Amino acid sequence: MTAASSPEFAIDVQGLNKHFGDKHVVKNLSLRVRRGEIFGFLGPNGSGKTTTIRMMCGLLKPDSGSGRCLGYDILRERAEIKRNVGYMTQRFSFWEDLTIAENLDFVARMYEISNRKDAVRRTVEALGLTARSSQLAGALSGGWKQRLALAACMLHQPQLLLLDEPTAGVDPRARRDFWDEIQKLAANGIAVLVSTHYMDEAVRCHKLAYIDSGTMLAQGSADEVIQSQHLITWSVRGDHLSELQDKLRQLPGVEQTVTFGATLHVSGKNAEQLQRSIEAAIAGTAWHAQKIDTGLEDVFIYLMSPAETQKGATL
């Protein structure tokens, strides 16, 4: 089977499991990513995101499960997968004493790309690296190193990019520019699976998945993920919100309180109990409360927080 024989899904895996010794790192994970789709992969550190990505790109063999990546079997055709996907790791892993062009030429040799010079020139131009192509990689800022890493992923013209926290430690402007490039690639039919901790990046994805302790907890569009948790949220404004937070977390119906600067978000699943508790807590005070739409960040904090700590978080 060739990559072209799977027209709809670039990734289609079911029931993936992976152990390292006694630790069950990925548990019965299933995932589908369409071609031309940006799929955001979220979860706390150690949740199994990187292990899952490495199974999908052929670097790790699942203990059990099945599926295809670009039409190739993830158990039997791992070498073909590695040759046909672009994988960007969390850490910058290029040679700092080589220029951008030299680094890319070396990667092109590894992929045995014909007409290496043309491939490097084309990629450098496409990602806006022409003016810096003779600059040493070690002298690049975080944003330009990130762009070099993306260029290396794109040299062999893959139809799937697997990006493992590609913008960690990069300034906001460089992150925005990077995502502009990712959206251009997706518009040209390239599938992108990207792990991230940033909410402003999550909302730019077509689909999202949240994983914790190796288990998929939610999956779908941003609206679908929000709706799946059935949270009702109120916003409270006023001074000394920490006092109110301490009070609310003891009341029935209050499952989560999160401080966003000068605003307190209060969430729960029992709408009547939640409203009664909030109204009782602010009665006769200067605090003002109103019901709001639950946001993606409210949901992800809820998913990532153990039950005993959900009632008090600060951002």
Strand partners, 34: 9
- What CATH fold (topology level) applies to the domain 3-225? Rossmann fold (3.40.50)
Q: Where in the chain is the domain with CATH 3.30.70.100?
A: 230-314
Give the pLDDT confidence score for residue 268 in this predicted structure. 97
State both tokens at 83: 């040759």
Low-confidence ranges of the chain (pLDDT < 70): 1-7, 306-315
Give the pLDDT confidence score for residue 93 in this predicted structure. 79
Give the pLDDT confidence score for residue 306 in this predicted structure. 59
pTM: 0.86
What lies within 8 Å, CB to CB, of 199 at 6+ separation is 296, 297, 300
Give the pLDDT confidence score for residue 314 in this predicted structure. 42
Cα–Cα distance measured from residue 159 to residue 157, given in angstroms and rounded to the nearest whole number: 7
CATH class of 230-314: alpha beta
What lies within 8 Å, CB to CB, of 184 at 6+ separation is none
CA–CA distances in Å: residue 201 to residues 11, 41, 49, 172, 233: 21, 11, 16, 11, 22
The answer to whether the beta carbons of residues 36 and 189 sit under 8 Å apart is yes
The answer to whether the beta carbons of residues 237 and 287 sit under 8 Å apart is yes
Give the pLDDT confidence score for residue 7 in this predicted structure. 59
Q: Strand 263-268 to strand 232-237: parallel, antiparallel, or no bridges (unpaired)? A: antiparallel
Cα–Cα distance measured from residue 146 to residue 164, given in angstroms and rounded to the nearest whole number: 12
Give the pLDDT confidence score for residue 167 in this predicted structure. 86
The answer to whether the beta carbons of residues 313 and 258 sit under 8 Å apart is yes
Strand order in the sheet with 23-34: 23-34, 9-20, 64-69, 72-73
The answer to whether the beta carbons of residues 266 and 234 sit under 8 Å apart is yes
What is the DSSP code (8-state) at residue 293? Answer: P
Cα–Cα distance measured from residue 128 to residue 151, given in angstroms and rounded to the nearest whole number: 10
Q: Where in the chain is the domain with CATH 3.40.50.300?
A: 3-225
Q: Is 52 helix (H, G, I), strand (E, B) or coil?
A: helix
Cα–Cα distance measured from residue 132 to residue 274, given in angstroms and rounded to the nearest whole number: 57
For residue range 144-158, what is the model confidence (pLDDT) as tens digits? 888 899 999 999 999
For residue range 83-132, what is the model confidence (pLDDT) as tens digits? 999 999 877 778 999 999 999 999 999 889 988 999 999 999 988 899 99
